Structure 1
């Protein structure tokens, strides 16, 4: 096999379009692209040209001869994912970018948010002549979850910042950082001074752990801990107690595994990463030696991805254990990648214990399935988590739910309890918002009003605040293309509002924020 995709894959699909022989799958026009955890390279079709290596924004592709020992599993994964008999195409189809027609004035677009979705949208817009894009963000540093949400030891994923730098260097691109839309300037003021406004505010907060005791000190969210060790301004001062030998994380997505891995890693292994200095010093004094990661359902419903599991299982300094009452049945998975994940879990569960000296036992992570949280226990702080085993039952709504079995309740002693049950978007004052989905209502990227569902001229949405917190960093490229096409089509048809003078907005902004950062 000439080239292999590894766990750093972000489903960006740049490699797909660079490949001259269409050997990278699934492509964006194939039905399983939207749900694939990673792409793969067909070893029979690959001609070893290396075009995909340069196209990958996170360095996820390499020759099979260059794989590190901990990456060898990806040889088997790529081989297992091939052989589907996919029809050969010259390359994947992507939506054609609408061309902006001749204009008498520069098209001024404001983008609210500075994460991957925002920058992909800016990139698509700046491909047109006569377009200026100003990106606003309330934080002093751009790149959103690509900066503050990626674990510090995932250095290859953080390399996507190089792509963002190339976007930022284009003529017509400007940052206004440290400007909070909805407070420093209103949504109405922003719209009044731009032809269009694209909201790309993401899903920056977490869904709460809705059980008794969740508000006790020591019970918080994995999102807050991620922000703490990534030096997010909102979470840099968070209190993360590490004075107990055990921590418990409720939820088993990639964020949960990231946090578990950081808590279980020898701090000196993190010293040369981008981890916040205050977090590194706290981890150096940590007593945590075991992290339990809970999933309400069985292994077939695990929320983490196969690449994340493979990376964690390859760590020789962390003991990874599986607690799956009822067993692990690969046939219960509904996708090929799901079956591969289950097969890896079986192999991990069957591994013999690793010998370690008694005076230096390995830290460990336990993936515990079919377990539901009932209550955070403790008087003045979190001292444990009361849990119960679960079984699946069909509710009155016809949906299958994981139902706790009360007679199986037990308490897991822990000094730190973290909820990791998903992200949600936050409302921007003056912009329509659906509290049920925590998204901005839209039709093809055009923002809809909150009443009759009519389109609001000049307002658009992209990214997680558009479609909910799902997909990878690169998934925002297709999303951005749809939204930008809608904006450009409206511009060509004369449907965009006529804005006030740019100089007047600059005066307004300086009166509210005398020195907004531009980078």
Structure 2
């Protein structure tokens, strides 16, 4: 029997486990996660009002409930409090790291560290009930917000900032976040990109959702649209549809709505300005197309008032102690999923997902990525199984103070979240802190 550890229970981890068990009936897979809850960014990165995408948890659940797959939550790998990668390698024939890209790219501008300046991921983690997230008072005293970035995550956070309580109450958003958003005095969100509408990375479906929000006006500056060079009809299908939606909003007369989302383009952040010791505005430089798909500065500046700034300019992988890391790409060096040490494949060590290829693609992109890595593992299996490993690694984990949360523990958390929702007169409501999650996991 080939015993494999998959580190990370998000889509890439689950798809890797699925590929392994489908291709070889002699494989046993333990899916490890540092959180007591599975599903990774599907649970903690998808906005609560996107029920269709969140329903993907159903197919991931099927993988984790397979008789040859075992979920082990609460297992931290690497770092001062985690299980060393070298020790994990001793417990399994192969280890596949599917740890994603755990941090955000920085803007690299003065004032970025001011109170009121956050990454979009920190905000998403808060309203998604990630146990590492803190109630940082994101919306306290906020009337205007700036979201820097024009991808789907930027659209998500802009939408969540102006969503009404009536639309969010049926979701699994934690109660504290729901109460905070419902009481918010925010009236305006600026979503800003340094390039033009044709280069925006959001999907048309996500974009159109903004125009369907009750009590929200979406505005687009016609000047920004005019700056985009070329004939929109010559654009590829996806950006062409985006530009068509934006042009439709730009042509609409102004409406008296309690909240507004302003989509801005050709503005590059150069500084976050302080007012009273915290963010009070963002200074942007107006950019212009350079004729090569990029932009150049014009030397003209504009200050946009904001008491909250969320940067959404991409994710980045972080080093995992015990593994090689390429700081330029933010990934682990690999060849077809095999981890490379000094350019040579390291026996029994593999990667899949964003830590393998960088933060690109959509959830489904993880499938072929996982299949490639799984194929590499199974190709190497005859050599890997010659190594002696424990028949069951869990006793060895417990011997070093790691007490994994099993699948039954996760089911107990699900029951506790359903019970909390019932008490609050809602559906399922997420538990939002470590102590509560772990206490719920023990009730089984």
Q: Any idea what SS the aligned residue of 1:421 has?
A: coil
Question: Is the CA contact 2:224–2:264 (under 8 Å) kept in the aligned structure 1?
Answer: no
Report matched runs for 1:388-427 at 5 Å: 388-393=285-290, 401-406=294-299, 408-427=300-319
Q: Pick from 18, 21, 30: which aligns with 1:126?
A: 21
> Distance in 2 between the 1:469 and 1:139 partners?
21
Report matched runs for 1:253-268 at 5 Å: 253-268=151-166
1:324–1:214 CA distance, 2 compared to 1 (3 A): farther
Q: Pick from 478, 488, 510: which aligns with 2:378?
A: 488
Partner of 1:516: 404
Partner of 1:457: 347
Aligned residue pairs, count: 400
Partner of 1:336: 237
> Distance in 2 between the 1:199 and 1:390 partners?
40
> Distance in 2 between the 1:429 and 1:481 partners?
25
Question: Is the CA contact 2:152–2:202 (under 8 Å) kept in the aligned structure 1?
Answer: yes
> Residue 403 of structure 1: CA displacement?
2.8
Note the alpha carbon deviations across 1:80-106, whole angstroms, 9 max, x for none. Answer: xxxxxxxxxxxxxxxxxxxxxxxxxx1
> Distance in 2 between the 1:195 and 1:131 partners?
10
> Distance in 1 between the 2:301 and 2:222 partners?
16
Partner of 2:421: none
Q: Any idea what SS the aligned residue of 2:217 has?
A: strand
Alignment RMSD (CA, Å): 1.8
> Distance in 1 between the 2:401 and 2:120 partners?
32
Question: Is the CA contact 2:163–2:213 (under 8 Å) kept in the aligned structure 1?
Answer: no
> Distance in 1 between the 2:362 and 2:129 partners?
22
> Residue 237 of structure 1: CA displacement?
3.0
Note the alpha carbon deviations across 1:149-198, whole angstroms, 9 max, x for none. Answer: 00110011100011111111111111111111014311111111211110
> Distance in 1 between the 2:126 and 2:27 partners?
37
> Residue 490 of structure 1: CA displacement?
1.3
Matched, 1:500 2:389: yes
Partner of 2:361: 471
> Distance in 2 between the 1:471 and 1:478 partners?
11
Name the structure with the higher helix share. 2
Q: Pick from 282, 287, 291: which aligns with 1:385?
A: 282
Report matched runs for 1:146-185 at 5 Å: 146-182=42-78, 183-185=81-83
1:326–1:237 CA distance, 2 compared to 1 (3 A): closer
Question: Is the CA contact 2:2–2:385 (under 8 Å) kept in the aligned structure 1?
Answer: no
1:514–1:181 CA distance, 2 compared to 1 (3 A): closer
Q: Any idea what SS the aligned residue of 1:437 has?
A: coil
Note the alpha carbon deviations across 1:321-371, whole angstroms, 9 max, x for none. Answer: 1125353457256412221221221112112333x4xxxx33111110000
Question: Is the CA contact 1:179–1:513 (under 8 Å) kept in the aligned structure 2?
Answer: no
- Which structure ranks higher in relative contact order (CA pairs < 8 Å, sequence separation ≥ 6)? 2
> Distance in 1 between the 2:333 and 2:349 partners?
11
Question: Is the CA contact 2:16–2:370 (under 8 Å) kept in the aligned structure 1?
Answer: yes
> Distance in 1 between the 2:279 and 2:17 partners?
44
Return 5+ residue gaps in structure 2 as ranges. 408-444
> Distance in 1 between the 2:43 and 2:235 partners?
33
Q: Pick from 80, 85, 106: which aligns with 1:208?
A: 106
Report matched runs for 1:161-310 at 5 Å: 161-182=57-78, 183-310=81-208
> Distance in 2 between the 1:440 and 1:146 partners?
23
> Residue 427 of structure 1: CA displacement?
1.2
Instruction: Report the TM-score, using the length of structure 2 for normalisation.
Output: 0.86
> Residue 455 of structure 1: CA displacement?
0.7
> Distance in 1 between the 2:385 and 2:253 partners?
65
1:443–1:496 CA distance, 2 compared to 1 (3 A): farther
Instruction: Report the TM-score, using the length of structure 1 for normalisation.
Output: 0.74
> Residue 123 of structure 1: CA displacement?
0.8
Partner of 1:376: 272
> Residue 112 of structure 1: CA displacement?
0.6
Matched, 1:116 2:11: yes
Partner of 1:144: 40
Question: Is the CA contact 1:324–1:369 (under 8 Å) kept in the aligned structure 2?
Answer: no
Partner of 1:434: 326
> Residue 392 of structure 1: CA displacement?
3.3
> Residue 501 of structure 1: CA displacement?
1.9
> Residue 514 of structure 1: CA displacement?
4.7
